């Protein structure tokens, strides 16, 4: 199996890089605006390379008997999200229309990967979820993760810096739980972004665009749902934990804006990473900090999964408190 995973990862990274180079030569320019963190027009659409890498890696995976029953559906819905992002990159779609597609695609991803059916703190302590609640909660998870990836893809290298270690952690957790859909999704995500980040690392020559952010978020969400449905009880907490750096920034920023009477889902420049950039932090420093935190969070989560029953939700709670404190500290430090 290790040979299959290596071949899959190498093909995904290589195709992602090649297609990203082609997009760089003919991509649509992302023009700076009031919400941008860049100052010069830069080609976007590099996410086409990421999706091409995912597709190439999936073709290689199909040549091996890996037993990933839900993978096909997850990849199809990921492509649907990517297509929506690509159209938005080209034409700037109406927000209400995008919301309708988001709802449909989130439901499709739950159908492909399966809804969460139980909330457990330990192997014995937990409770079953009514079918409707499980579906709604699972679709909401997909919705939040995909949007978080899109909202946070506003600084050079940050999408890859976070989603590469998140994908690796998802793949390792999938191996531990015996969920091959999660293993393959995690490997494809990490490898494809690795091929793309060569051109996206600060100073970025190419942006992922919505096609890349939505596609990456969807692939992670689908793989994570599969892990929750077929893994051990702690996987319910590992699924959001591996991307908690993104989720915390988005959700805490929304809470902060609501507290100041500015609650809105429209684009803005009040995320922690944006405030840090405005205060003088470099894009490279932002990517390294967010990526480093994600790697550390993923490592502690994986270690906790091998420890005492109930250790994973405890680690999840500790990181929620830690990231909340860091978010508050950023607000105080930059005075915004």
DSSP-H helix ranges across the chain = 2-26, 47-61, 71-91, 95-113, 131-152, 158-177, 180-200, 209-230, 235-241, 244-259, 272-278, 283-305, 311-334
CB 246 within 8 A of CB 149: yes
Helix (H) or strand (E) holding 120: strand 118-120
On the CB side of 217, how many CA atoms lie within 13 Å of its CA? 31
Q: Report residue 102 as tokens.
A: 């988001």
Sequence-distant (≥ 6) Cβ neighbours of residue 255 within 8 angstroms: none
- Amino acid 184: pLDDT: 96
- Amino acid 14: pLDDT: 98
Cis peptide before 203 (omega within 30 of 0): yes
- Amino acid 106: pLDDT: 98
Q: How many CB atoms lie within 10 A of CB 207?
A: 27
- Amino acid 268: pLDDT: 62
pLDDT in tens, the chain (336 residues): 688 899 999 999 999 999 999 999 876 666 555 555 556 778 888 999 999 999 999 999 988 887 778 899 999 999 999 999 999 998 889 999 999 999 999 999 999 999 998 887 666 667 788 999 999 999 999 999 999 999 999 899 999 999 999 999 999 999 999 999 999 999 999 999 999 999 999 999 999 999 999 999 999 999 999 999 876 677 899 999 999 999 999 999 888 777 766 656 566 677 889 899 988 899 999 999 999 999 999 999 999 999 877 899 999 999 999 999 999 888 787 765
Which residue ranges make up each domain of the chain?
2-334
- CA separation for the pair 332, 336 (Å, rounded): 7
Q: Report residue 275 as tokens.
A: 């405030």
């Amino acid at each position: 199996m290790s040979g299959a995973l290596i071949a899959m990862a190498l093909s995904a990274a290589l195709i992602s890089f090649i297609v990203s180079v082609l997009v760089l030569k003919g991509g649509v320019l992302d023009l700076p605006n009031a919400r941008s963190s860049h100052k010069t027009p830069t080609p976007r659409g590099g996410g086409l390379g990421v999706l091409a890498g995912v597709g190439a890696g999936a073709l290689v995976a199909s040549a091996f008997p890996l037993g990933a029953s839900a993978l096909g559906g997850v990849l199809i819905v990921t492509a649907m999200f990517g297509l929506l992002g690509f159209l938005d990159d080209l034409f700037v779609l109406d927000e209400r229309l995008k919301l309708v597609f988001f709802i449909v695609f989130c439901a499709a991803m739950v159908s492909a990967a399966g809804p969460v059916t139980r909330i457990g703190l330990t192997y014995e302590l937990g409770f079953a979820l009514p079918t409707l609640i499980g579906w709604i909660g699972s679709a909401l998870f997909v919705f939040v993760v995909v949007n978080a990836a899109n909202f946070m893809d506003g600084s050079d290298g940050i999408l890859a810096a976070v989603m590469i270690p998140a994908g690796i952690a998802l793949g390792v957790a999938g191996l531990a739980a015996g969920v091959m859909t999660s293993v393959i999704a995690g490997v494809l995500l990490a490898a494809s972004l690795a091929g793309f980040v060569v051109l996206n690392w600060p100073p970025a020559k190419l942006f992922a665009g919505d096609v890349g952010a939505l596609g990456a978020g969807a692939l992670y969400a689908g793989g994570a749902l599969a892990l929750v449905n077929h893994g051990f009880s702690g996987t319910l907490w590992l699924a959001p934990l591996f991307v908690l750096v993104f989720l915390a920034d988005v959700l805490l920023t929304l809470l902060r804006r609501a507290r100041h009477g500015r609650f809105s889902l429209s684009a803005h420049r009040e995320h922690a990473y944006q405030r840090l950039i405005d205060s003088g932090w470099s894009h490279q420093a932002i990517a390294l900090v967010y990526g480093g935190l994600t790697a550390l969070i993923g490592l502690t989560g994986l270690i906790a999964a091998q420890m005492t029953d109930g250790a994973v939700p405890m680690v999840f709670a500790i990181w929620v408190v830690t990231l909340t404190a860091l978010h508050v500290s950023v607000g105080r430090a930059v005075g915004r």
